[in-house]
Amino acid sequence: MAENNTNHASESATPDTSQTTGRIFPVLPAPTNLQYFLSIKLASDNYLIWESQFTPLFKSYNLMSFIDGKQPCPSEWIDDNNGFQCRNPKYDEWYRLDQLLLSWILSSLTDLVRSHVVGISSSHELWDALKRMYAACSRARIQQLRNQLQNLRKGTETISEYFCRARNIGHQLALASKPVDDDDLITYIMTGLPSGEYGSLRTALNTRVDPINMEDLLAMLLIHEAQLDEVHNLPIGTPSANFTMKNQNFCGNRFKHNRGRNKTQDRSLKNQVGSCFACGNNGHIAANCRTVCQACRQPGHGALKCKAYKMQKFDDAPSIEAHTANAYRSFDHGGWYPDSGATHHVTPDFNNLTIQSNYNGGDQ
């Protein structure tokens, strides 16, 4: 007897589908907290994003037929078995659900948008009106976002700011049901980077066999940015040509790590600090040295008194001496680059050259 009562109670709690085939009432009850479902309010530029939150909600409650017009409004009055008109219960049920959907949609509109749809009384009419007004604007917005991706440039932004801006555009397109593939987004990001600073990284990614994800790409870009900052923050010396010096004539210990250097040579270099590059004597520098001629390399006279110098018609001797002195002084800085990549070097000491030949022409 108790078992029969239990079965009877369960049957009364579960709707009889055989008797509710023609019912409009949704399978699930309406949600009470719409803010958890409808967090995006419709504005003039986000119609597709706004629509994307409503469609699954309507489908989950079997209410999409109200919105697309497939469930038209039934007659308000019908004839009973005796031929008298009576109120149609299906109309009351339909009207109640339609007004519920209407309130859902209105609650998700901004004040400006709501002012354009005042007076609309059904959910289907409201849905169509909003689609006519804002769907075209959303298509224009999608095209605008795509143009922003195609014209993406880093400019003065940091890598973090630039990367976040690119991903934000991708997210907006995804919300508008127009997602961008990660590979395409990576291509847009790399194309917008300066070629001079990020060209090597771009080449490495193009020759990479395995695809890279967005997280790894951001990490690589941040590391590359940090390396560029280190290079840009290096102290910059006086602009000058690259000079080659014989090791025994170079002051200081800049070449203490060079190949072929021994401890005896290092000690001798330390003792020659302040020595002349031209004659090797202590107490003066090459700019003040008058012992060796700068034109013929012979001792005992200067370039101004050199006969060979005058025969070659070098009329600007003081300028040559000044440039030579400046060359020595401009080289005296802390930064030294033994492998600068330069194809030509300038040396003030003729003895530094392994293969030597005098230039007898008149053009210097």
pLDDT tens readout for residues 85-117: 888 888 888 899 889 889 889 989 999 999 999
Give the least confident one: 59-68, 173-182, 269-278: 269-278
335 has pLDDT over 80: no
Exposed e or buried b per residue across 234-265, where buried means at least 16 C-beta atoms within 10 angstroms of its C-beta: eeeeeeeeebebeeebbbeeebeeeeeeeeee
259 has pLDDT over 50: no
258 has pLDDT over 90: no
Conformational region of residue 77, where left means phi above 0, alpha means psi within -120 to 50, and beta covers everything else: beta
Mean pLDDT over each residue of the chain, to the nearest integer: 71
Cα–chain center distance at 148: 13
pLDDT tens readout for residues 124-136: 999 999 988 887 7
31 has pLDDT over 70: no
In the predicted model, what is the mean pLDDT of residues 9-30? 43
* Helix residue spans in the chain (DSSP H): 2-13, 47-60, 64-68, 89-107, 111-114, 123-150, 159-175, 182-191, 195-206, 214-232, 263-271, 307-311, 317-331
Residue 209 makes CB contacts below 8 A (sequence gap 6+) with none
Give the least confident one: 35-39, 57-61, 221-225, 265-269: 265-269
Higher pLDDT pick, 336 / 208: 208
pTM: 0.40
- pLDDT at residue number 21: 42
- pLDDT at residue number 174: 83
Q: With cut-offs at 50, 70 and 90, classify the pLDDT of residue 32.
A: low
Instruction: Report which listed range, 27-31, 111-115, 229-233, 345-349, is most confident.
Output: 111-115
In the predicted model, what is the mean pLDDT of residues 230-257? 51
State phi, psi for 85 to the nearest 5 degrees: -80, 135
In the predicted model, what is the mean pLDDT of residues 243-249? 44
